[in-house]
Structure 1
Amino acid sequence: MNRRSARAPRLLTVLALVAALVAGAAPWAPAADGRPTVTLSASQAGTGGSITVKGAGWGPKALLMLLVCGQATPARGVVGGTNSCANADGLAVTTDSAGTFRKRLPVAEPPAACPCVVHVATATGPKAQADAAFQVAGHPVKPLPKESGTGRLSMVADTRLDGSSGVLTWFGAPPSRSFVFTVGNVGTTPVKDPVFQVGTSHGVFAPQWEEQQWRGTVEPGRKARIELPVELTAGAHGSYLVSLKYGGKVLAEQPWGVGRPWGVTLFWLLLCVVVPAAVFRIGMAVVDRIRPRDRYGAQGRHRGRRLARLGARVPGLRPPRQDPPPAGRPLGPAPDTSPNTLPWFAPDTGPSAPEAGQLSAPSDNSTTTKGNP
């Protein structure tokens, strides 16, 4: 009996340790409703410190973003959106094959006052998010803004992007679409001129939110079809995601594939061909103008070209044919071969003609021909 009584405290100790391990592992299990969960190693820490963030129930190999956000509670979420979060000090983490993660997160003061949370959201793939209450030591605390009225809008129909890209978009103009969706008022009071937030994100970057107000009133129990313009920056291309937020909650998301502006590429290719050709033509024109010209060849060729162009305009007119100078002949004016001088005498060295009345008699030694007296 003494041995059994001695073993009883040991058995209780082992059971207590097992219960503690099970209790410690419980936060890693997903919630009963299938939503992802987030737990923190401490509920309060000061700026410059760090806390350990654990999560479970996320998709396998999912990329998550961890942020410290102000003006947020786990029940209402981040009221001011990601603008209320310390985005510069956020971290990214990838879950394992079981959908769990563990990450050390530095504590930073968010731009908005507390109450604060550690906000975890997926960066790629299916959208999911979870919040855990957290207090930044020394950070100011302000109450959350009250919810206006009892009118609530909810998405009741699928969203779509209407419109198409024009010719200017092919040359780099900003792509634009109309975000069309239908909402219903599930509250008890009318919702007048609601303000929506439309955000566009590219890749793993956070959405850039822009507030847009819809002019109109949605009565309780009624629906309204709303169109909001969406525009990207000039030259944008690739895969984008358009998100719609109202009252701090994301109502809908729509993917948008933007084609590459090939017109800009074609323009630069043509520019690389036209500019060198123009420079070459200008250079050849300058060289042709400043080079020395010969009297016979250059002028004759230009004259022949002008006559050829003139003959092409006037039917029946043909320019005279000009034979090229013979080989070895020097270029320049042709020598004078008139009958006044013999070709083998120079003009000043030829025999002079006898003057009139000075005919000389034949010499005595000269021979005479028959028939002469």
Structure 2
Amino acid sequence: MRSTRTGAATALLAALLFALLPAAPAAAAPGPTVALSQSEAGKGGEITVSGSGWKPGALLMLLVCGQSAPGKGVIGGTNSCANTDGRAATVDAKGAFSQKLPVAEPPKPCPCVVHVAGVTGQQDTVDAEFTVAGHPTAPLPEPSGAGRLAVLASVRLEGSSGVLVWFGAPARREVVFTVGNLGSTPVKDPVFEVGTSHGVFAPQYEERQWRGTIEPGRKALVKLPAELAAGAHGDYQVSVRYGGKVLVEQPWGVGRPWGVTLFWLLLAVVVPAALFRIGMAIVDRVRPEGHRQNRGGSPHQSGSGPHGRRRRRAPVPDRTPLPVPAVPAAGEPTAVLPWFTPDSAPSENSPTTKGQS
């Protein structure tokens, strides 16, 4: 009986100890990976880039980049990559992809990598070591200083578009964010890289130097200018990079420059009207003299014949009425005509010559 109780107490103690033990950590989900069909190839060749562990439906950009190494990133940014020979790949439902990539010589010397970066759906980047046969090599540049900058606050775009942007002028903004120095040495006048991207294209970075010193453990507000090309419109993304690492990514929506469309519509109306006026002026100059002087009237009204000759008008008869002689009133003497006298007037009693004979 006593042994039974001892066994039950031992079992209970073992159960309690098992419950108090920390649970074994779950296996971490594998991150995205990249594999190459060949580790070395010459210019003009082709390799197959495959990967797994990516987010389904993500769009990836594949580039051959120089001055790079796995774990250190692309030091020169996309300016160190053969951008014109890059390829895009879409991750399937299982998180895998496979894409052929032509081998091209990057603008920077090797060591080289095949740089796989997420464009939409996933922002991870993976570099696979690769050798471009016949391409020059050079040691990687030494990192400058031990200061490390990290973004501590939310990112925003400041500024507004002026009237000229409505007519196609370049849109400008300021990328504003707060950084902190997590290193052990101060960072003086850091040089950031600001780039803009549209669609599946990789950002084109430009250097922007921020004036000031950030002491270890301190933070600072950074404002960097960003600008798009003239006439740019649509959905863009602004990226800020420091030391080969992307610190900031912010969407930027730019409206369509409707002023340009309005200008072309007005031009389509004004130019034909001006050409019509010029044509009418030319026609008026080469027209015969008679038609030019009496443009718009009939030949009878203008006095011109059908062949442009001047036709003489017929004289208009004078229709002024003749004066009517006044009738004398009773008792007034009658005016005597010079060729007729009262004595020469025949009387009723005087015989005629015919009657006398």
Look up the match of 1:52: 48
Look up the match of 2:318: 337
Give the CA deviation at 1:137: 3.0
Give the CA deviation at 1:156: 1.0
Look up the match of 2:332: none
Aligned AA for 2:211?
A: R
Look up the match of 1:221: 217
Please say if 1:238 is aligned against 2:234.
yes
* 2:77 maps to which of 76, 81, 91: 81
* 1:212 maps to which of 208, 213, 228: 208
* 2:102 maps to which of 77, 99, 106: 106
Partner-residue secondary structure (3-state), 1:123: strand
For 1:142-161, what aligned pairs fall within 5 Å after superposition? Answer: 142-161=138-157
Contact 1:66 1:90 in 2 (8 A): yes
Counterparts of 1:244 and 1:175, CA distance in 2: 17
Counterparts of 1:155 and 1:333, CA distance in 2: 102
Give the CA deviation at 1:113: 1.7
Counterparts of 1:142 and 1:287, CA distance in 2: 75
Give the CA deviation at 1:33: 5.0
Counterparts of 1:182 and 1:118, CA distance in 2: 32
Change (3 A) 1:279 1:68: closer
Change (3 A) 1:340 1:250: same
Residues 9-42 of structure 1 show CA distances to partners (whole Å, capped at 9, x for unaligned) of xxxxxxxxxxxxxxxxxxxxxx945431111233
Counterparts of 1:371 and 1:145, CA distance in 2: 162
For 1:1-373, what aligned pairs fall within 5 Å after superposition? Answer: 32-284=28-280, 290=287, 291-294=291-294, 335-337=316-318, 339=320
| TM, length-normalised to structure 2 | 0.73
Change (3 A) 1:32 1:73: farther
Contact 2:58 2:122 in 1 (8 A): no
Give the CA deviation at 1:239: 1.0
Give the CA deviation at 1:371: 11
Give the CA deviation at 1:281: 4.2
Counterparts of 1:139 and 1:87, CA distance in 2: 17
Contact 1:295 1:332 in 2 (8 A): no
C-alpha RMSD of the superposition: 3.5
Partner-residue secondary structure (3-state), 2:120: coil
Give the CA deviation at 1:87: 2.1
Give the CA deviation at 1:54: 1.7
Partner-residue secondary structure (3-state), 2:169: coil
Number of residue-to-residue matches in the alignment: 295
Change (3 A) 1:339 1:120: closer
Give the CA deviation at 1:138: 3.2
Give the CA deviation at 1:339: 4.7
Aligned AA for 2:91?
A: T
Give the CA deviation at 1:284: 4.8
Counterparts of 2:206 and 2:103, CA distance in 1: 28
Give the CA deviation at 1:238: 1.0
Change (3 A) 1:195 1:284: same
Change (3 A) 1:176 1:331: farther
Give the CA deviation at 1:47: 3.3
Aligned AA for 1:36?
A: P
Change (3 A) 1:65 1:339: closer
Counterparts of 1:133 and 1:282, CA distance in 2: 70
Contact 1:296 1:332 in 2 (8 A): no
Give the CA deviation at 1:210: 0.8
Contact 1:70 1:115 in 2 (8 A): yes
Counterparts of 1:295 and 1:107, CA distance in 2: 77
Counterparts of 1:164 and 1:295, CA distance in 2: 58
| TM, length-normalised to structure 1 | 0.70
Change (3 A) 1:254 1:295: closer
Counterparts of 2:319 and 2:251, CA distance in 1: 95
Aligned AA for 2:157?
A: L
Give the CA deviation at 1:177: 0.8
Contact 1:89 1:108 in 2 (8 A): yes
Identity %: 64
Change (3 A) 1:125 1:276: same
Aligned AA for 2:173?
A: R
Change (3 A) 1:190 1:370: farther
